[in-house]
Amino acid sequence: MFETRLIEVALASGEASGYRDLHLEELDDSSKWIGWAYYRIAPTWIEARPLESLSHLSTDLTAHLLLLRDQDDPDRIVCVYPVSTETALVNIVRSDDGLRTQIRRAGQIDAQAIAALVVGTAMSASVVDSLMAAIVDEARAYIKGVSSDELEKFSEDRAGSLLDGVGFCTWSSLGEDIHPNQENMSELLTSLIEHNMPIQSFILDDGWHNQKTYASGDASPYRCKTGPEDMRGTWQLRGLYDFDAHARLGENGVKKVVEEAKRRFGQQDGVKGEVNVGVWLALTGGYWDGICPDSPLIGRYNCKPYPVSRDRIPGMANVPFTPGYLPGGKGVYWLPPPEESLRFWTDWFVYLKAQGVDFLKVDNQGSLSLLDGVEGVECQHALWKNMVAASDQVFGKGNVIHCMSHHETMWGGVQGLGKVTNGERFVWRNSDDFGLIGKKDNPDQQHIFTNLSNALLTAHLAMVLDADMFMSQVQNPVPHALLRALYPGPLLLSDRPGEHDVSLLWRLIAKDASGRARVVKTTHPAVPLAHRSLDISVIGMGDGRGMFAAAPSGHGTTLGVWNVRDDEDGGKVLDTLTSVDIVDALGDRLSSSQSWLIAQTDLYRGGIVAAQIWSQSEGEEELAKIQLERMGATSFWLTQLQTCGNIQVAVLGLIDQFAGLTAIEKAETNEGYLTTAVRCEGVFGFVVAIEEEPKVSISINDQKQVGEISKLDNLKGNGLGGWLVQVRIGGNIVNTSDVWKVRAVF
């Protein structure tokens, strides 16, 4: 159903960079191909933008993935994926003469430097996800020098405690321009504690460093004479001065924040004394613009002035107060050279470990690709590789959140394809920041859209995808919460003090049998439905279609639908759930002999509002009309019907959760009874598919309970959808096991 092929592109010995014409027989007439171009829209981010014709591909921005369909034959799909190696970096650009590859040398100058492109074709839009997986496998095999058949799966996640508990980050909470100090940190902790927020991972974000402003090689005040007139005189380059915190945090400031957070959060209900504290830093030598030239670190680690420029990121505005800003487009970053960067990171991390720090958020990684020349690429790669090695040594594996890291080496190179980490996954931010109100058009819609559209590729890379922080009470929390529940990365809140919706939080988390709060979420990210994945109208203006994405779990699939349409005129989603959507969402787990229950949830109050039995034999039947207002969302749970004597039942898990299907450990039926092992406390539910109200006796851990039975309409609201049986797990129920055993007898 699909094919892949690999094309090599090369630089000759002595050639530092160059362009090569790209003529692809698969893209015979550029005017008829539409779809998505994944552009590098900032030094640190790659995002999909709609292409109404391949001939309209940007002549300014670099493209890092093309996903296209033939307008004359919509089931004909082509994907083009640039693959960077240890010797060359590559992307796609367009000139007046057509497509070209832009190649940059990444290794020794006196040898040939080779990169590649993987071209995938398919004759059915329903296999887009499988096509993307095959393209990534082809790329992985190429950079490892093996056949696709010899590839091993990526190893278990490198993140342990980062992923299990409730996290919090100070960035949006304090305000992006507010430096943390002992007073505002204590006030923030008090607010979280007074609202009973069981914080288990806490990140001290940007603003704690001892950094100085500088330019022209010294730390004197610097007034910029370029850029927008209203910002001239305001910008200063910022560099790390030493490893300690700034003076306003006080002596041993980081240690004091860490100790207070661990002490106070450790006493919260649901935390059970286990609190991890992390700190933010930048891969660019610790802070945004490298190491301050006056810093004592310069001599200690033999730091060098690396020339930087924006020559390789055309089409991006060079604006003050944005990552990678360079006055005049050029400058210098002082950084430890490759032979010193492991010692630099190790010394700093050992110091932070002594302050009580447990993990890191490492930001601004993509800006290192501004370093000029082969020497610059070598420095960039060494800083990342040695940062990971030092963190593994000091904090243990999996204790870095990689952020602002969308560039050739990560998106389609040796980092993202897992070669540097030997096939081990790492936590990686999949999108630009949450909540960029006033800084970006349609910030909430774009955030959700980008996380989902990027996942078409990134779900197959060596990453545990992180969707970034969000706020529990403001800025459209419900659609954001649904996205986080369908993402494997860490759950991070960034509420402003006093603005907390604890009830929403407890629909993302639940206590396990030990009483510790756990995030109830999928282990596989939500990915757009394949047959809808090339619909470029989903971010259009006016009323139209929604963004459908599915995340499988052990006991079923959660299908989310979001309104990510342009915000200018408040367009609604007016769409229809069909059998094609269900077939696509279930994928390989579907067989023609099975019957499934489709349950629609109430995202805003919790619970199930409608249900319907479905089987593949029902063809392209329209199942439900979907109407979503601005930034609205809904979800459907797909779970298999099981025979229990002479009736059929469908186990839903915890129906008060956004991703309650994932709370099911095991569900078994026998003659006349259903037994389910459930991982967490909450409202457990299942649907009985019979005409008359069922008679059922329920026990939890052999202790009899009273359940509630209610009638469900079908998805169209014109008939019976089944009987919902629900019972609360927890409270005074005695439990001596790792799970709760729920038994229903009919």
pLDDT, tens only, 373-395: 999 999 999 999 999 999 999 99
- The single residue listed with the structure tokens 């990915």 is 527
- The single residue listed with the structure tokens 């290794």 is 107
Q: State how beta strands 45-51 and 33-42 pair.
A: antiparallel
**Domain membership flag for residue 334:** yes
**Domain membership flag for residue 198:** no
> In the predicted model, is pLDDT for residue 322 greater than 70?
yes
Give the number of other CB atoms < 10 A from CB of residue 241.
21
**Domain membership flag for residue 625:** no
Residue 342, helix vs strand vs coil: helix
Q: Is the dihedral of CA 725, 729, 731, 732 positive or negative?
A: positive
Q: How far apart are CA 682 and CA 668, in angstroms?
A: 20
pLDDT, tens only, 339-373: 999 999 999 999 999 999 999 999 999 999 999 99
Last residue of a domain, one of 357, 389, 421: 421
Last residue of a domain, one of 371, 391, 421: 421
Q: How far apart are CA 231 and CA 728, in angstroms?
A: 57
> In the predicted model, is pLDDT for residue 469 greater than 60?
yes
Name the DSSP class of 582. Answer: H
Question: Which H or E element spans position 107?
Answer: none
Q: How far apart are CA 113 and CA 106, in angstroms?
A: 8
* 217 neighbors 184 (Cβ within 8 angstroms): no
Q: What is the SS3 assignment for 37-90?
A: EEEEEECCEEEEEEECCHHHCCCCCCEEEEEEEECCCCCCEEEEEEECCCCEEE
**Domain membership flag for residue 75:** yes
Q: State how beta strands 426-429 and 400-402 pair.
A: parallel
**Domain membership flag for residue 416:** yes
**Domain membership flag for residue 401:** yes
Last residue of a domain, one of 370, 395, 421: 421
> In the predicted model, is pLDDT for residue 656 greater than 80?
yes
**Domain membership flag for residue 583:** no
Quick one: tokens of 215? 């330019």
Q: What is this structure's pTM?
A: 0.96
Of 485, 513, 512, the closest CA to residue 660 belongs to: 485
CA distances from 414 to 9, 407, 408, 462, 655 (A): 17, 11, 9, 10, 41
Query: What is the count of structural domains for the chain?
Result: 2
User: What is the residue-averaged pLDDT of the chain?
Assistant: 93
pLDDT, tens only, 500-551: 999 999 999 999 999 999 999 999 999 999 999 999 999 999 999 999 999 9
**Domain membership flag for residue 341:** yes
Strands (E), 405-543: 426-429, 463-466, 491-493, 509-511, 517-519, 527-528
Which range has highest mean pLDDT (154-158, 379-383, 617-621)? 379-383
Domain range spanning residue 130?
2-150
Lowest mean pLDDT among 108-112, 291-295, 622-626, 711-715: 108-112
CA distances from 623 to 105, 383, 503, 584 (A): 53, 52, 31, 14
* 272 neighbors 516 (Cβ within 8 angstroms): yes
